[in-house]
Amino acid sequence: MANLIPPRFKVVIDYERCRKCKRCVINCGFGVYSFADRVIPDHKKCVSCQRCVAFCPEEAITIIENPNVFRPNSYWTMEDRINIMKQASSSGMLLTGMGNDRPYKNYFDHLLIDACQVTNPSIDPLREPMELTTYLGKKPDAVKVKVENGKVKLDTQIAPQIKLDTPIIFSPMSYGSISLNAHKALARAAKECGILMNTGEGGLHKELYPYKDWIIVQVASGRFGVNQEYLDHSAVVEIKIGQGAKPGIGGHLPGEKVNREVSETRMIPEGTDALSPAPHHDIYSIEDLAQLIYALKEATHYEKPVSVKIAAVHNVAAIASGIARAGADIIYIDGFRGGTGAAPTVIRDHIGIPIELAIAAVDDRLRAEGIRNSVSIVAAGGIRHSGDVAKAIALGADAVAIGTAALIAMGCHVCQMCHTGNCSWGIATQRPELTQRLDPDWAAQQLINLVKSWSLELKEILGALGLNAIESLRGSRERLRGIGLTDTELAILGVKHAGR
């Protein structure tokens, strides 16, 4: 029976310009091209990752959406029909990479930031100090001081804090789901920017040990790579419960991606599937979570903050309150736009809630309970630019985490095929001939440039707001206005409508 699924993209080759250098054949990780007298594309294999386009010296390749995939229908979308055909031919679960791309309402784009005019003058960040320094960790409600010989001294032991030079960190992306070169780039950039990268649940490659002060290590249900040495080589330890792209779903790294180095880092046999189940089998209650938090604090001598990562779901505020009370120092909340290496498509597209609503709800709840100081909030899941960063912080986050944006900085074109392991850009793959394409020095510099650009823009936003410290924006919803939102949405976000 013929494959019913039509090609989603068409590769158009300008044979007048093509000099038959075969770079497209070499560069395509998905095997689109073959050569027989001239380059022949197999349109069905193309994912529009644009690697061939970028590397064609003659600019002879254009990839277009196949205009004749299906007869147009605004209810039965192309994706719906293709997915039905795939499932009808395979009887399997559909997998996808990257985040939810469905056109749900995007709350970031319905929020507008305030600016100064006459009475609260704006501040020029090029001439005045502008502070983005952010500390993550549990804070007490009050500072106690003592006066000795007329000098005021600190009399409170502050729980371990992590300093960020700018309120941005790199989201968890495991070694296995992305390449070692990508991990190296993230670690180098984190150090240079004074921020943090997160290992994800894939363990920590020994080559990253020198970056331990800028690394969050994850303890997920699979416990991949977790041992004392691993915990010791970190600034923060994070318990991963959920992730935005697939709340309630565990991880699965196919055995093909588990090469020798991945197997050593994850501490699993080479070539075996790395399965991390959704439930931690030692966490079936908040009390269990509290025990694990304190076990990790014991193991790290109470010198490191412990973070708990959850996906933004319907009852996220109450869950976050429980996590704060269970002793977490940081709560990492991942919205439904969060990316992933691989997720069931149906889960990615239909489960979870937007991070904007989650931050607002969690911040409100923790304040209502008077425990906001006891935990830092990191918001993630679809942060696209510094405007999103500022809005997330104004809604109540201490810092944001960026995953997809970081990948794009390293060359990712969001073809959403991470799960195939064929990433032509050498990022989401373990194929040696592909991973070598990503130069960690170049990629680190790209990341550094991105973080520095966003930081400059954040300073400009603060200056426009007449603020010179990021903590004055944190949770300051008075400086946001909603546009095109219902009363309920405004109430959840805790902002007034524009014009009020």
Our CB check for other proteins shows the closer of 130 and 169 to be: 130
Segment near other proteins (CB under 8 A); pick from 36-44, 60-68, 409-417, 468-476: 468-476
Given candidates 233, 309, 479, 481, which one binds other proteins under the rule CB under 8 A? 479
Quick one: which H or E segment has residue 488? helix 487-493
Nearest distance, CB of residue 456 and other proteins, angstroms: 17
Structure tokens, 110: 């319905």
Per CB under 8 A, does 500 bind other proteins? no
CA distances to 57, 257, 261, 308, 433 from 430, in Å: 26, 6, 10, 28, 9
Q: Which of 171, 238, 164, 189 lies closest to 402 in space, CA to CA?
A: 171
Nearest distance, CB of residue 280 and other proteins, angstroms: 31
Per CB under 8 A, does 469 bind other proteins? yes
Given candidates 34, 156, 285, 449, which one binds other proteins under the rule CB under 8 A? 156
Burial 151-178 (b: 16+ CB within 10 A, else e): eeeeeeeeebebebebbbbbbbbbbbbb
**What are 169's strand-pairing partners?**
401
Per CB under 8 A, does 486 bind other proteins? no
- Residue 46 in marked binding region: yes
Per CB under 8 A, does 367 bind other proteins? yes
CB–CB of 197/186 below 8 Å?
yes
Tell me the C-alpha distance between 415 and 94, whole Å. Answer: 16
- Residue 423 in marked binding region: no
Beta-strand ranges (E) seen in 349-431 are: 376-380, 399-402
Our CB check for other proteins shows the closer of 154 and 275 to be: 154
- Residue 116 in marked binding region: no
Contact characters 134-153, other proteins, x per CB under 8 A:
-x-x-xxxxxxx-x---xxx
Per CB under 8 A, does 161 bind other proteins? yes
Per CB under 8 A, does 465 bind other proteins? yes
Tell me the C-alpha distance between 295 and 301, whole Å. Answer: 10
Nearest distance, CB of residue 141 and other proteins, angstroms: 8
Say which residue the tokens 């600019």 belong to: 59
> Within 13 Å and on the Cβ side, how many CA atoms surround 394?
25
Per CB under 8 A, does 373 bind other proteins? yes
DSSP letter at 5 equals P
Our CB check for other proteins shows the closer of 116 and 283 to be: 116
Beta-strand ranges (E) seen in 264-364 are: 274-276, 306-311, 330-334, 343-344
Our CB check for other proteins shows the closer of 141 and 303 to be: 141
Tell me the C-alpha distance between 60 and 418, whole Å. Answer: 26
Q: Which of 453, 449, 430 lies closest to 441 in space, CA to CA?
A: 449
Per CB under 8 A, does 129 bind other proteins? yes
Our CB check for other proteins shows the closer of 44 and 496 to be: 496
Per CB under 8 A, does 121 bind other proteins? yes
Per CB under 8 A, does 126 bind other proteins? no
Question: Residue positions in the annotated binding site for [4Fe-4S] cluster?
Answer: 18, 21, 24, 28, 46, 49, 52, 56
Residue ranges that bind other proteins, judged by CB under 8 A: 116, 118-121, 123, 128-129, 131, 133, 135, 137, 139-145, 147, 151-154, 156, 158, 161, 367, 370, 372-373, 465-469, 471-479
